[in-house]
């Protein structure tokens, strides 16, 4: 049998309701294994309790902890890793770990969780865990998110529903596999390659002090100007209308704000309020005007991955001695490179 490392971080999949019916993290995470006592029929495994928290409370330090835990165990004979995680921010964590572990990853790292706790007999906690073990034993060789009957690239997935069992989707990239009696990998999936000898280069740093603003009609820019004058602000994300469209006329135009932020060394990223919508090839003037003013488009990345990658890129660029103009150029270049298949 193959050997799997099961990393527990919390989430609904490991919770049990208290007397008032409120779901809380378990006092003893070791009880998590009771939800699927027959896991050993799929693979041998070691159980690691890394965290025990609701994923709503996750932060970049937790992404680093997960990536570091996998990196530290990369040469201990594991055929794959399964990360049990809460669903609310799992797509953020899977994106972050994908970037941190990089392109040389040659085993599956499978994130999973559930919409129901294990006390719900018809729920998905046991099923998702069992299926994730199957994926971790497959020929996949990248960070993935396994939920219900589908397997998605970790840096392409996003949550689409708060209660349905097929809670995740990948709007801009095909699924990696279909789960039936077997794991059917699709051509888009990266597979294990025995000829790859390069070790993982762990880059697990994420810059702090990023602000994301979801645009609304009539947003007054004087609220935003205080952000770029704050010494602690390292960057701004504008979650735009449509395909990267940003107001560019009248008193609510954001073009001056974007230009000023860029001149202050505060890069401005433009994502979309729509799922994984393209902000690179917009045909509309307001979108092109924002880019011409200095905004950085995010292609067809999910908004979650764009935010995570922005922190990841900034952490690397901030360590250089580049001057502001060159720094802005380098950030734009890195944001538009695909490191782990996170954008086309």
210 beta partners:
235
Return d(Cα 301, Cα 242) in angstroms, integer: 14
214 beta partners:
239
Active site residues: 12, 87-88, 159
> Helices 303-317 and 324-335: crossing angle, nearest 10°?
140
Return d(Cα 4, Cα 46) in angstroms, integer: 7
Question: What is the layout of strands, in order, in the sheet containing 150-153?
Answer: 44-49, 3-8, 80-84, 109-112, 143-147, 150-153, 177-179, 183-185
Scan for tokens 């005007």, then name that residue: 289
Q: What is the phi/psi pair of residue 269, to 5°?
A: -100, 140
Scan for tokens 């974007």, then name that residue: 258
Return d(Cα 84, Cα 128) in angstroms, integer: 10
The two tokens of residue 328 are 């802005």
Contact 109, 70 (CB under 8 A): yes
Contact 213, 239 (CB under 8 A): yes
């Amino acid at each position: 049998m193959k050997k799997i490392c099961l990393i527990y971080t919390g989430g609904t999949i490991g919770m049990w309701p208290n007397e008032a019916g409120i779901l809380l993290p378990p006092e003893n995470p070791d009880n998590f294994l009771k939800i699927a006592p027959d896991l050993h029929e799929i693979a041998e495994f070691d159980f690691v309790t890394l965290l025990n928290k609701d994923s709503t409370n996750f932060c970049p330090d937790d992404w680093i902890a997960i990536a570091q835990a996998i990196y530290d165990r990369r040469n201990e004979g594991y055929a794959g890793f399964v990360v049990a995680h809460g669903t609310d921010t799992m797509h953020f964590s899977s994106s972050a770990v994908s970037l941190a572990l990089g392109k040389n990853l040659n085993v599956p790292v499978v994130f999973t969780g559930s919409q129901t706790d294990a006390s719900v007999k018809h729920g998905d906690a046991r099923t998702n865990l069992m299926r994730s073990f199957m994926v971790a034993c497959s020929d996949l060789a990248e960070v993935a998110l396994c939920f219900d009957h589908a397997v998605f690239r970790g840096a392409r997935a996003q949550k689409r529903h708060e209660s349905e069992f097929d809670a995740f989707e990948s709007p801009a990239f095909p699924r990696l596999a279909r789960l039936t009696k077997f794991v059917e990998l699709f051509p888009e999936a990266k597979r294990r390659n025995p000829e790859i000898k390069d070790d993982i280069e762990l880059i697990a740093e994420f810059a702090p002090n990023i602000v994301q603003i979801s645009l609304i009609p009539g947003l007054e820019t004087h609220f935003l100007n205080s952000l770029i004058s704050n010494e602690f602000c390292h960057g701004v994300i504008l979650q735009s209308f449509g395909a990267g469209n940003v107001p560019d006329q009248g008193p609510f135009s954001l073009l001056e704000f974007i230009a000023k932020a860029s001149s202050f060394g505060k890069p401005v990223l433009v994502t979309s309020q729509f799922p994984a919508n393209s902000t690179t090839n917009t045909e509309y003037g307001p979108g092109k005007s924002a880019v011409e003013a200095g905004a950085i488009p995010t292609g067809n990345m999910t908004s979650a991955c764009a935010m995570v990658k922005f922190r990841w890129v900034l952490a690397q660029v901030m360590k250089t001695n580049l001057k502001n103009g060159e720094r802005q150029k380098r950030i734009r270049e890195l944001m538009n490179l695909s490191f782990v298949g996170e954008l086309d």
